[in-house]
Structure 1
Amino acid sequence: MIPVRGFEGKTVAVFGLGRTGLTAARALVAGGAHVALWDENPASQDAARAEGFKVVDLRSADWSHFAALMLSPGVPLTHPQPHWTVKMARDAGVEILGDIELFARTVNAAPPHKRPKIIAITGTNGKSTTTALIGHLCASAGRDTRVGGNIGTGVLGLDDMHGGAVYVLELSSYQLDLTSSLKADATVLLNISPDHLDRHGGMDGYIAAKRRIFLNQGKGDTAIIGVDDPWCQQICTEITAANRRTIWPISAGKAMGRGVYALQGVLYDATGDRVTEMADLLRARSLPGRHNWQNACAAYAAATAIGIPAQDAVEGLLTFPGLAHRMETVGTLGRVRFVNDSKATNADAARQAMSSYPKFYWIAGGVAKAGGISELADLFPRVAKAYLIGEASLAFGQTLEGKAPIRHCASLEIATAAAYSDALDSGEDAIVLLSPACASFDQFSDFEARGEAFRAAVEGLGKIGAKAG
């Protein structure tokens, strides 16, 4: 745990008692603060009380007693409208912070010899894979590495800092909205495509939130920016013009005179005086497809930016084991391979997996994002058949009508069995791909639960096959 500094003897209100909120509460208390916790879910209140925390109904509390409000990132800050806690905090002049900001202030208050290296990663797609990949590269090179933030362990639940540690942090747009003083040694912005627009009031607000990751970078820091989409390309141009830091563009599709890029699966380093061929990414079994080549470029750039030797970084790319729910093979039955890409919660993310296979049996659906799957029309010829689930089933069926065979399924388990049956009947090597292009909240608590349900359905098919055999 990282004890939070700066609130000794003061009371901090904490709203939202999920993983982030409770972890922050523990860290605040460890640093000498008092906390007043609240959540509208009675079960979450009970969990806090079981740990000995004081649960206070913030709706009737005296906010003048609070030094700050620690807000969980899932709670609306500005859109569609500010949460009632946000309104009460602002009315009382109480500062609103997130857990990443608490971490940042604690790092900033530490003496120089105790300050760790920090690598911060954001982007619409690929940030979890890239975060895990950078963590793997740093750990493989012998660094004391802690990976967390929006992935795995909440940042304040990671081991306490020291001067030799490296913190590799995935940051969502929600977390960045609550962060103002984070200063990372290497900052990665992978890509931007429309997502979470309702929470940011539109595309401009979403881009502004992502851009906050660069707020405090200066001389000696490295900004690593994908330039394969127009929004990030513009940000790269503007930051380069400001000329306050080292900037390394990354690309998975074009050669550049500066930065790190991949062409046809070969990674090139152009951060020095010459372009050097560094790695054949086709040998990296857990990094298939062009989108993963961008992730690899970003990870290589970030690792070398903090001093990891280039060859150690290359070795890490080739030994990365992959990440659950991101193009993860969860089973093979006969000639049918099952790929779990449950993390694809929007169409742009689904495109990454769909582009990696010439033909596949596609399980899709859930709570659709704006635009649905219409932007994937160029990939519909690859769909051998689509098995549609959840709220989006009807709308997705209308989009796919006449372009690919479809079947509406009442559950993920039924869809998995139906896809397997059709793939088996094809008599060919086949891919059953769960890449929903949707949020999961209509049927599952999160994308991880959805991915685990798919894994269980595949395992169930295997048991049935074993009995039949």
Structure 2
Amino acid sequence: MGDQGFLGDVVVLGMGQTAEAVARYLLGLGADRVSSVTVVGGAKSAPGDRAARLSELGATVVLGTDDVSGAFDLAVASPGISEFSDLFGNARAASRRVIGEPELAWEESPERWIGITGTNGKTTTTSLTAHLLNACGMPAAAVGNIGPNVIGEVARRRPDEWIVAELSSFQLATTERLEPRVACLLNITPDHAEWHRTHANYIAAKERIFANLGVGDLPVLVVDDPECARIADELDERGLAPCRVSVTRVPDSPNRAYLQDGRLIVELDGERDELPRTDELGLEGPHNYANALVAAAAALFVGADPAVVSRALVGFAPLEHRIEPVATVAGVRYVNDSKATNTDAVEKAVGSFPAGRVVVLVGGHDKGGDLTSFCDVLAAQVKCVVAYGEAQGRLGAALELAGCRVLYAPHMADAVEAARAVAEPGDVVLLSPACSSYDEFSGFEERGHRFKDLVRELADDERRSLERDLAEER
């Protein structure tokens, strides 16, 4: 466990699940460690069940304001609260320290941590790493941005358990002392400009995962990404020995993970482990092969058995909404990649399938941003684009200028029907929207579930048609 020092008067910022989990944890520590807990929900917060529960537990709950009154020893910010917001600034002025929930969790229980970040691929890599460790008899919990709060896991953690934490840029921006045993960076592409204000701030937040690493820790970086390659060189200069991961070449590095003749290879501290071939994996696409290499390197470094890692890699299935196979209807594969809410994720997704055979559905609520690379990649890779929803005009116009064939549809259901009409046996219909979902859905999960329901309706129609044909033949 951590140093278990006195935390004093603590203010928790936010009124979501993270804020409740943090407040509950702090209230459970007792007066010998925490003298008071105040929860400030922010200007948009209002009375509700969560606020009532926290008040009943003993927290002072302040709603409907960004003001932070009083003096505090510690402020713990929820990840949705930007460091440039009024609420964060007021808390900084009123507190000796401002940190985020993962930092608090690490300070409370710093042993056996693996941290994973990147613009895309975090959830798959986090889930896969925990899967590999558990398969090897090394208890591991996948927590953080993936869903379960880290602080909740700390409260019930087994002494031998590994914490595998998916860490967003929001969460990393408020870290101070965090030092995972293994720190992984998958990629950095423009995202979350509304939160970080500048791309430089976003990069700086991602880099914080390496800030406190020592010579006994392992940084793991996918150096096919130029920013990751630059950061790996800087880690060399600090005297660390980063594991460079690539799916395009064999990195010139003592610690490295790469593909050789279609096989995953990991070399750490002079040991070379040959893992499964890419065609044995349930995951598809070069970006997922990189994710698998990162997860394998992390697991092997902390003591996982190579033979068991190999078997577990083969047995790992794609996660929901992340290049998730749904069904094959009339010879056409339908794939749900609803989690692809930025253009870089879509570029990676379409590259997972044969060029010229992909009908990709893009659209939703436009996050803005440059479309140059996105349009170039789709023009080279896809058979057709179906643009739908609020963003269809801007995306469709840019893609047409790049030479793509573009069909237009008002809503997702119309987009699926348009894709069905144009797709031929052997093609892939891929939902990979490049946008958030808030024009039509509550989130990418609801969007993905709706897509799968629509595909299942197509499959049911096909089945009923076949049954009618057989009945007529009889």
TM-score w.r.t. structure 1 length?
Answer: 0.89
- Residue 399 of structure 1: CA displacement? 1.2
Partner of 1:30: 28
Partner of 2:405: 405
Alpha-carbon distance change, 142 to 235 in structure 1, aligned in 2, over 3 angstroms: same
Q: Tell me the alpha carbon deviations over residues 42-62 of structure 1, each in whole angstroms, 9 at most, x when there is no partner.
A: 567433314635422373866
User: Is 1:64–1:92's contact at 8 Å kept on the other side of the alignment?
Assistant: yes
User: Is 1:63–1:94's contact at 8 Å kept on the other side of the alignment?
Assistant: no
Indicate yes or no: 2:100 matched with 1:72: no
Which range is displaced more, 267-276 or 183-192? Answer: 267-276
Q: Distance in 2 between matches of 1:60 and 1:406?
A: 45
- Residue 304 of structure 1: CA displacement? 0.8
Q: Distance in 1 between matches of 2:209 and 2:238?
A: 15
Name the amino acid aligned to 1:443.
Answer: E
Give the SS at the match of 1:130: helix
Indicate yes or no: 2:116 matched with 1:121: yes
Q: Distance in 2 between matches of 1:467 and 1:3?
A: 61
Partner of 1:59: 65
Alpha-carbon distance change, 62 to 210 in structure 1, aligned in 2, over 3 angstroms: closer
Partner of 1:378: 377
User: Is 2:285–2:353's contact at 8 Å kept on the other side of the alignment?
Assistant: no
- Residue 467 of structure 1: CA displacement? 5.1
Name the amino acid aligned to 1:385.
Answer: C
- Residue 242 of structure 1: CA displacement? 1.1
User: Is 2:72–2:95's contact at 8 Å kept on the other side of the alignment?
Assistant: no
Alpha-carbon distance change, 282 to 43 in structure 1, aligned in 2, over 3 angstroms: farther
Alpha-carbon distance change, 294 to 121 in structure 1, aligned in 2, over 3 angstroms: same
Which range is displaced more, 335-344 or 192-201? Answer: 192-201
Partner of 2:298: 302
Aligned counterparts, 1:95-106, within 5 A: 95-106=97-108
Alpha-carbon distance change, 364 to 93 in structure 1, aligned in 2, over 3 angstroms: same
Name the amino acid aligned to 2:407.
Answer: R
Name the amino acid aligned to 1:260.
Answer: A
Partner of 1:314: 310
Q: Taking every aligned residue pair, what percent have the same amino acid on both sides?
A: 35
Give the SS at the match of 2:61: coil
Alpha-carbon distance change, 57 to 48 in structure 1, aligned in 2, over 3 angstroms: closer
Name the amino acid aligned to 1:460.
Answer: E
Backbone CA RMSD of aligned residues: 2.4
Q: Quick one: which of 430, 443, 456 aligns to 1:459?
A: 456
Partner of 1:271: 268
Alpha-carbon distance change, 72 to 264 in structure 1, aligned in 2, over 3 angstroms: farther
- Residue 335 of structure 1: CA displacement? 1.2
Partner of 2:471: none
Aligned counterparts, 1:272-291, within 5 A: 272-273=269-270, 277-285=274-282, 287-291=283-287
Indicate yes or no: 2:219 matched with 1:223: yes
Partner of 2:472: none
TM-score w.r.t. structure 2 length?
Answer: 0.88
Aligned counterparts, 1:225-240, within 5 A: 225-240=221-236
Alpha-carbon distance change, 331 to 25 in structure 1, aligned in 2, over 3 angstroms: farther
Partner of 1:418: 418
Q: Distance in 1 between matches of 2:463 and 2:61?
A: 52
Which range is displaced more, 264-273 or 189-198? Answer: 264-273
Indicate yes or no: 2:325 matched with 1:336: no
Q: Tell me the alpha carbon deviations over residues 39-87 of structure 1, each in whole angstroms, 9 at most, x when there is no partner.
A: 345567433314635422373866324332221111111xxxx222122
Q: Distance in 2 between matches of 1:150 and 1:44?
A: 26
Q: Distance in 1 between matches of 2:199 and 2:68?
A: 37
Partner of 1:135: 130
User: Is 2:327–2:334's contact at 8 Å kept on the other side of the alignment?
Assistant: yes
Q: Quick one: which of 342, 347, 362 aligns to 1:346?
A: 342
Q: Quick one: which of 288, 293, 298 aligns to 1:292?
A: 288
Give the SS at the match of 1:55: strand
Q: Tell me the alpha carbon deviations over residues 148-190 of structure 1, each in whole angstroms, 9 at most, x when there is no partner.
A: 1000211112262343111100001110001111111111111
- Residue 94 of structure 1: CA displacement? 4.3
- Residue 265 of structure 1: CA displacement? 2.8
Partner of 2:437: 440
User: Is 1:119–1:184's contact at 8 Å kept on the other side of the alignment?
Assistant: yes
Q: Distance in 2 between matches of 1:309 and 1:275?
A: 13
Give the SS at the match of 2:333: strand
Q: Distance in 2 between matches of 1:94 and 1:459?
A: 55
Aligned counterparts, 1:59-208, within 5 A: 59=65, 63-77=69-83, 82-108=84-110, 115=111, 117-158=112-153, 160-208=156-204
Give the SS at the match of 2:410: coil
Partner of 2:52: 49
Q: Distance in 1 between matches of 2:320 and 2:159?
A: 31
User: Is 1:141–1:312's contact at 8 Å kept on the other side of the alignment?
Assistant: yes
